[in-house]
Amino acid sequence: MTLLIALAERLSVTVTVAFLMTRNQTFRHFIRSQISQRGILTLTLTFAAFSILGTYSGVPISGALANSRAVGAVSAGLLGGPLVGIGAGLIAGLHRYLVYGGFTGLACALSTTVEGLLGGMIAYFWKKKALDWRVGILTGMIAEVIQMGIILLVARPWAEAWQLVQVIAIPMIVVNGLGVGVFLSIVDMILTEEERIAASESLKVLRIADLTLPYLRTGLNRESAKHAAESIYRMTDVAAVALTNQEQILAHIGLGSDHHVPGEPFLTEATQKVLLNGQMLEASSEIEIHCSHPNCPLRSAVIVPLRQGGKVVGALKLYRAQRGKSELGLGLAEGLGKLFSTQLELALVEQQKELRAEAEIRALQAQIHPHFLFNALNTITSLIRTQPEQAREILVFLGEFLRHNIRQEAPFHSVREEQKHVQAYLAIEKARFGEKLQIEVEVEPGTEEVLLPPLILQPLVENAVRHGLLPKEGGGLVRLSVRRAIDSLAIEVSDNGIGISAFKLRNILQNSTSAGEGIGLRNVDQRLRGLYGRGLEIQSTLGTGTVVRVEIPVEVTAAKEVSAL
């Protein structure tokens, strides 16, 4: 009992050292994942030193040592595998043999190596359970039983070896088994806490990203930077948050806001370094931050670059009022920097998409103007002398049509406006083709103020007239229907014309037809897919006609209109 208590007291020193080991970043990285050969060697030597400490803290008894050396060797194997276990055990065993000697010297050297191998083999064949403290206790006890057996087999004289084993066996089996279990429980506790903190930080980053996404989608500017900085400052315990572009401070919230002023050039050399080399920087003192203001209260910082389109466009800075480095602050800043950069990339994609959509609308207008205007003017010319009143009406309709076509800068138009555009177009075409063109327009009451993207209805109607009815001998009927569904606006344009073959229709929507052919349908389909994720639904039968359907989510459209404003 006396020996058991003495070993337990000395084990407390070993446990303290074990706790300090878990604070080492190399050690933690090793436990989490595989590292380089150099790292394995470093950890082998670390565990060997840990095991040797168990020798030095041993209790002398009958020319031998009752010790906790097995804790280091077995733990090395369980955590690092056979190679680390054997290496640590061999080094600690040789130390025991060369420094202390004695009639058990060789037996202890052999047993310590075997104990390291035992832990390594359990880790190799039972990897998922290697960090379980219960497995650690059992392995430590088995290792000490093996050591007692080796002492009896190797140590001489045998009578003294047997007498020694009778005294030290139970205390060493119990203490070393518990020692391995305690060590593994400390490791598990540290890793679990790290995972919990990492999960908490990840959740915090995602919440901040969710709050800032609507603003950063507009790009990196003063307004978006201000909202982003306020969100980070409110949800973290940093002393200050700042965002810059390549030239000036866009926002600064928290300590130092009296001299880190938005609109002014940034004051720290650390920021300049990050913007220049595009690498994250952690400054642990005000000297590394190097703010030009003499009374700046900011003592440490993490600065990460923000990228857009492959270029560094600014920096995110998290400041603290204390000196030193913060692993959690580093992870938070790095995560936010990557998410903000992704949001800025999406903003750039969105801007390019809008520019492309605008360019496509302009292309559609350019395609409409020469063709349609030439035919309309010919019709007016032919009617001026014979039917001047009708010519005047067509001129009014033409003016209305051109006015609406030119006025396409607004992101959304009401159904009423788009209906007028369609009616102006149909009135002109009706004047040209007379009874050959029959028209039905049905707009459900209450849908007139629903918002639509511009140039949606008219290209569909024009496609039905030009490619469906006019090639058909005797013409036909084009019908436009607009009605309210449950949560969307249902639009249908149908004709009883010549129809479209499946092959030609597929080519039109896939942009593989000849230049100018199908530009109206294709443009509308692509813009709708870009805005709502779904495009035109077209059913057509040769010789029978074509039906084009569109469903536009009313709530989504309204939300896009608000964001555009």
Q: Is residue 350 part of a domain?
A: no
Output the six-digit token pair for 91.
């080094």
Residue 461 sits in the same domain as residue 313 = no
* Per-residue model confidence (pLDDT) at position 112: 93
Distance (Å, rounded) from C-alpha 74 to C-alpha 180?
A: 7
Distance (Å, rounded) from C-alpha 557 to C-alpha 453?
A: 8
Q: Is the pLDDT of residue 288 over 80?
A: yes
Residue 9 sits in the same domain as residue 142 = yes
* Per-residue model confidence (pLDDT) at position 64: 74
What 8-state DSSP symbol labels residue 292? Answer: S
Q: What is the number of H-type helices and E-type strands within the chain? A: 18, 14
- The domain that holds 183 is classified in CATH as 1.10.1760.20
* Per-residue model confidence (pLDDT) at position 115: 94
Residue 129 sits in the same domain as residue 227 = no
* Per-residue model confidence (pLDDT) at position 31: 61
| Among 14-23, 87-96, 234-243, the least confident range | 14-23
- The domain that holds 252 is classified in CATH as 3.30.450.40
Q: Which residues pair with 268 in a beta bridge?
A: 291
Q: Using 50, 70 and 90 to split pLDDT, how confident is the model at 556?
A: very low
Q: Using 50, 70 and 90 to split pLDDT, how confident is the model at 477?
A: very high
Distance (Å, rounded) from C-alpha 250 to C-alpha 224?
A: 9
Share of the chain above pLDDT 90, in %: 18
Show which of 289, 322, 345 is a domain's final residue: 345
CB 553 within 8 A of CB 488: yes
* Per-residue model confidence (pLDDT) at position 362: 57
CB 40 within 8 A of CB 83: yes
Q: Is the pLDDT of residue 514 over 70?
A: no
More confident residue, 337 or 546: 546
Phi-psi category of residue 545: left, alpha or beta, with phi > 0 → left and psi -120 to 50 → alpha: left
What 8-state DSSP symbol labels residue 247? Answer: S
* Per-residue model confidence (pLDDT) at position 182: 86
SS3 89: helix
Residue 322 sits in the same domain as residue 391 = no
Q: What is the mean predicted confidence (pLDDT) over 412-439?
A: 86
Q: Is residue 290 part of a domain?
A: yes
Q: Is residue 354 part of a domain?
A: no
**Tens digit of pLDDT for each residue in 319-374?**
988 887 665 567 778 878 887 887 777 777 666 666 566 656 555 554 555 556 66
| Among 30-39, 236-245, 260-269, 488-497, the least confident range | 30-39
* Per-residue model confidence (pLDDT) at position 17: 73
Residue 334 sits in the same domain as residue 389 = no
Place of tokens 């800075």: 317
Q: Using 50, 70 and 90 to split pLDDT, how confident is the model at 515?
A: very low
Output the six-digit token pair for 418.
């788009």
Distance (Å, rounded) from C-alpha 78 to C-alpha 66?
A: 23
Task: For Cα atoms 174, 10, 118, give the angle at the middle one, nearest 5 degrees.
Answer: 45
Q: What does pLDDT average to over the chain?
A: 81
Residue 254 sits in the same domain as residue 173 = no
Residue 21 sits in the same domain as residue 147 = yes
Residue 177 sits in the same domain as residue 236 = no
* Per-residue model confidence (pLDDT) at position 311: 86
Q: Using 50, 70 and 90 to split pLDDT, how confident is the model at 443?
A: very high
Q: What is the mean predicted confidence (pLDDT) over 228-243?
A: 87
Measured CA to CA in angstroms, residue 196 lies from 35, 130, 191, 202, 206 at distances of 23, 21, 9, 10, 15
Distance (Å, rounded) from C-alpha 277 to C-alpha 272?
A: 9
Most confident of the following: 85-94, 118-127, 167-176, 451-460 = 85-94
Q: Is residue 174 part of a domain?
A: yes
Place of tokens 């000697």: 101
Per-residue b/e over 221-250, b at no fewer than 16 CB within 10 Å? eeebbbbbbbbbbeebebbbbbbbbeeebb
Residue 392 sits in the same domain as residue 523 = yes
Residue 226 sits in the same domain as residue 278 = yes
Distance (Å, rounded) from C-alpha 289 to C-alpha 299?
A: 8
Distance (Å, rounded) from C-alpha 88 to C-alpha 73?
A: 6
Residue 104 sits in the same domain as residue 145 = yes
Write the burial class of residue 166 (CB in 10 Å: 0-12 exposed, 13-18 middle, 19+ buried): exposed
Q: Annotate 107-174 with three-state secondary structure.
A: HHHHHHHHHHHHHHHHHHHCHHHCCCHHHHHHHHHHHHHHHHHHHHHHCCCHHHHHHHHHHHHHHHHH
User: 414, 50, 20: which is closest to 187 by C-alpha?
Assistant: 20
CB 224 within 8 A of CB 262: no
* Per-residue model confidence (pLDDT) at position 291: 85
What is the model's pTM?
0.45
Domain hosting residue 330, numbered range: 217-345
Per-residue b/e over 53-72, b at no fewer than 16 CB within 10 Å? bbbebbbeeeebbbbbbbbb
Phi-psi category of residue 125: left, alpha or beta, with phi > 0 → left and psi -120 to 50 → alpha: alpha
Write the burial class of residue 381 (CB in 10 Å: 0-12 exposed, 13-18 middle, 19+ buried): exposed
Q: Is the pLDDT of residue 380 over 70?
A: yes
Q: Is residue 117 part of a domain?
A: yes
* Per-residue model confidence (pLDDT) at position 111: 94
- The domain that holds 498 is classified in CATH as 3.30.565.10
* Per-residue model confidence (pLDDT) at position 107: 92
CB 546 within 8 A of CB 500: yes
Measured CA to CA in angstroms, residue 75 lies from 134, 204, 250, 470, 496 at distances of 13, 35, 52, 87, 83
* Per-residue model confidence (pLDDT) at position 565: 41
N- to C-terminal Cα separation, the chain: 82
Q: Is residue 462 part of a domain?
A: yes
Task: Using the Cα atoms of residue 523, residue 527, residue 529 and residue 530 in order, give the sign of their dihedral.
Answer: positive
* Per-residue model confidence (pLDDT) at position 558: 46
Q: Which amino acid is at 101?
A: G
Report how many domains make up the chain: 3
Q: Using 50, 70 and 90 to split pLDDT, how confident is the model at 187?
A: confident
Show which of 165, 195, 225 is a domain's final residue: 195
Output the six-digit token pair for 405.
């076509």
* Per-residue model confidence (pLDDT) at position 410: 66
Q: Using 50, 70 and 90 to split pLDDT, how confident is the model at 308?
A: confident
| Among 50-54, 385-389, 400-404, 427-431, the least confident range | 400-404
What 8-state DSSP symbol labels residue 436? Answer: G
Residue 186 sits in the same domain as residue 226 = no
Q: What is the mean predicted confidence (pLDDT) over 382-403?
A: 75
> Cβ–Cβ contacts within 10 Å for residue 105, how many?
19
Q: Is residue 141 part of a domain?
A: yes
Q: Is residue 328 part of a domain?
A: yes
User: 250, 266, 246, 248: which is closest to 311 by C-alpha?
Assistant: 246
* Per-residue model confidence (pLDDT) at position 467: 86
**Tens digit of pLDDT for each residue in 95-127?**
999 998 888 889 999 999 999 999 999 988 887
Distance (Å, rounded) from C-alpha 464 to C-alpha 494?
A: 7
Distance (Å, rounded) from C-alpha 138 to C-alpha 401?
A: 88
